[in-house]
Amino acid sequence: MAKADMLGASLWDAYSNKVTTLMNNPQHQGEITEEEAASHGNKLIVADFGAESCGDAVRLYWEIDPKDDRIVNSKFKSFGCGTAIASSDVMTELCIGKTVQEAVKITNIDVEFALRDTPDVPAVPPQKMHCSVMAYDVIKKAAGLYLGVEAESFESEIIVCECARVSLGTLKEVIRLNDLHTVEQITDYTKAGGFCKSCIKPGGHEAREWYLVDILADTRREMDEEKMKAAADAGSKGDFESMTLVQQIKAVDAIVDENVRQFLVMDGGDMEVIDIKKGDEYIDIYIRYLGACNGCSSSSTGTLYAIEATLKEKLSSKIRVLPI
């Protein structure tokens, strides 16, 4: 097979069968006229949207029953590549039968998933994802025209990843709740950055106001500052023994992050606090070694003594560290 043929075969393999079928045989392409909608006692809405990143554009037609705001028929015209045609066709189909208020909840990720042959395989290659993400914007515009409001009124949060419709608030919350450290982990948890990849870092096909690398760095810095403050507060108050279990674990984590963890990580290891139990004589802190620290000979001698000495100095002289 010639090299060009091999490249062509590889490219087509990256598209789902649904996409390639709808590229050539869309089911809802066309237009709805004012006369047609009026003959059914319905209202016609026509909305246009163009993607600056690639020049694709779509015109969306909604025939709406004013009695219940339900979209009884929908068609589209797409001015762009085959991917834009296929995604516009599925987007149009998803609108039919929904009320305007329901349709505005359709996201770009809903469209992309509807184009998949199997749930775990993307419908289009990442570099073409931007061609299939006009759905949310043109739907907002159509809904705004029908309801007499600005399209932006449907957007209550800053959207960082247009492909997966992931907001800035969601990203920060997921990073904090799951203690994420890499962009790859963010993508695994939220799908942000998993498609056109423009939101990951500067230099993609479309400039963004927010990038995942910066959000991760800023959020991690905020978390570290909060931990250091918690450690400082715990040390200055000298009230470790009267803290709740959750407060104690946070205080220990903060001291470990500030004074210990960097040295463990340098050697390919780490540790985590499993439990804290208060007795009459000791406050026992149970830890688990991770990575290279697990099974290391110094984990029960020098390293353990260093961790325990640091926690005693910063938090309480009653602390005893026990690896499990």
Q: Using CA atoms, how far apart are residues 24 and 20, in angstroms rounded to an integer?
A: 7
Say yes or no to pLDDT of 95 above 90: yes
Say yes or no to pLDDT of 212 above 80: yes
Say yes or no to pLDDT of 5 above 50: no
81 catalytically annotated: no
Least Cα distance to 136 among 170, 161, 116, 171 occurs for: 161
pLDDT band at 19 (very low <50, low <70, confident <90, very high): very high
Coil vs helix vs strand at 137: helix
Say yes or no to pLDDT of 192 above 80: yes
| Mean residue pLDDT across the chain | 85
260 Cβ contact partners less than 8 Å away, ≥ 6 residues apart: 271, 306, 307, 310
pLDDT of residue 6: 36
pLDDT of residue 4: 40
Burial of 17 (0-12, 13-18, 19+ CB in 10 A): exposed
CATH of domain 238-323: 3.30.300.130
pLDDT band at 52 (very low <50, low <70, confident <90, very high): low
pTM above 0.75, yes or no: no
Say yes or no to pLDDT of 70 above 70: yes
Say yes or no to pLDDT of 233 above 80: no
Residue pLDDT, tens place only, 145-166 = 999 988 777 766 788 987 777 8
- Percent of the chain topping pLDDT 90: 43
Say yes or no to pLDDT of 45 above 60: yes
Say yes or no to pLDDT of 283 above 90: yes
Catalytic, out of 131, 161, 196, 293: 131
Helical H runs in 99-150? 100-103, 108-114, 135-147
Give 255 or 55, the one with higher predicted confidence: 255
Catalytic, out of 54, 95, 163, 293: 54
Domain ranges of the chain: 3-155, 164-237, 238-323
54 catalytically annotated: yes
Coil vs helix vs strand at 5: helix
Second CATH level (architecture) for the domain 3-155:
Alpha-Beta Complex (3.90)
Which contiguous run of DSSP H or E holds residue 21? helix 17-24
